[in-house]
Amino acid sequence: MCTSNAVMTGKVVIVTGANTGIGFEIAKSLAKRGAKVILACRNEETACIARDKIIAQTNNSAVIFKPLDLASLKSVRAFCQDIIETEDKLDILVNNAGIASSSNTYTEDGIIELMQVNHFAPFLLTLLLMPLLKKQPSRILNTSSILHYLGAVDLVNLNKKSCNDVKCYMNSKLCNVLFTAELARRLRETEVVVNAIHPGIVNTGISNNLNVLYATFFKIWCWFCQRSVLEAAQTFIHLSVTDEGASVSGKYFVDCSERFMSWNVNEKVGRELFDLSIKMVKYDGVGLSGLCSDKFAI
């Protein structure tokens, strides 16, 4: 558990997928510490219920909902434009939202839904919000998984229907760690830090759309781990509020401690994935001079 008593008054935080599960607990904890928390969610009804609960439980009225559907890059762009127009800064971005199953369907953007929601959309979201993140020391937290150790990144076939949902999920979680390491490298001359997190094995409902065999196995795994959603949120909270969270970048954390990344995480693949992602999301680099090159003149 995060033991820090740090106060977050004056801080602006975005948590994606904050209407339920781990995202809700992260948002509630940071709101309790006084932060302004933006709940970035697809489902307005559940997000507004979550917002009202957090306000009631924390006595912090600076908790707001803004619509964000990671399965639509148009929605990502609209959300970021709204944030840039209404906020003067952004201190913490928590890329928490994700899915474990999409039946190998493509989004309106022509990207495998699971890969878009878990990697490509958070990638675009992060880059579009970078002008606000760079205004002051800030932190980016990316949700990965212990399953990234079993992932593989085939850049040629990354967007093809070539694997089942579980394998695709593993690959997307490896992409999260590769993105984290490469973005940290490109931001090394700035005060923006970025880290990846495995929250632990916890039943948040993410497995609801898996087939019966995988869903059953996952629920049994969760039962053995005996981890609550509140416990799963602790590493995010730790890296949001502690001094360590401001001084370490490009790392992978489990249970509030740094751990080894997969051997598949290397600079060459990270750079190639970053450049491919730029093309996949049609990002033009406006406002981020040098971030998309190897010069790092950010």
The yes-or-no answer on residue 169 being catalytic is yes
Catalytic residue among 169, 214, 252, 283: 169
Give the predicted TM-score (pTM) of the model.
0.91
- Kindly state the average pLDDT of the residues 145-156: 92
CA pair distance 247, 219, nearest whole angstrom: 36
Roughly what angle, to the nearest 10 degrees, separates helices 234-241 and 21-32?
40
- Whether the predicted pLDDT of 207 surpasses 80: no
CA pair distance 279, 261, nearest whole angstrom: 26
Closest CA to 129 of 172, 182, 176, 78: 78
pLDDT digits (tens, 9 = 90+) for 82-117: 999 999 999 999 999 999 877 679 999 999 999 999
Percentage of the residues of the chain whose pLDDT score is greater than 90: 77
Cβ(19)–Cβ(50) below 8 Å: yes
**pLDDT tier at 200 (50, 70, 90 boundaries)?**
confident
List phi, psi (to 5°) of 64.
Answer: -130, 155
Largest pairwise CA distance in the chain: 50
- Kindly state the average pLDDT of the residues 50-74: 98
- Kindly state the average pLDDT of the residues 222-228: 54
pLDDT for res 225: 47
Cβ(200)–Cβ(232) below 8 Å: yes
CA pair distance 230, 200, nearest whole angstrom: 11
Q: First CA to last CA across the chain, in angstroms?
A: 35
- Whether the predicted pLDDT of 189 surpasses 70: yes
pLDDT for res 160: 85
- Whether the predicted pLDDT of 291 surpasses 60: no
pLDDT for res 71: 97
pLDDT for res 221: 43
pLDDT digits (tens, 9 = 90+) for 5-23: 999 999 999 999 999 999 9
Give residue 95's identity as a one-letter amino acid code: N
pLDDT digits (tens, 9 = 90+) for 232-254: 999 999 999 999 999 999 999 99
Q: Which fold has domain 12-280?
A: Rossmann fold (3.40.50)
Cβ(253)–Cβ(195) below 8 Å: yes
What count of Cα atoms within 13 Å lies in the side-chain half-sphere of residue 142?
33
- Kindly state the average pLDDT of the residues 120-141: 98
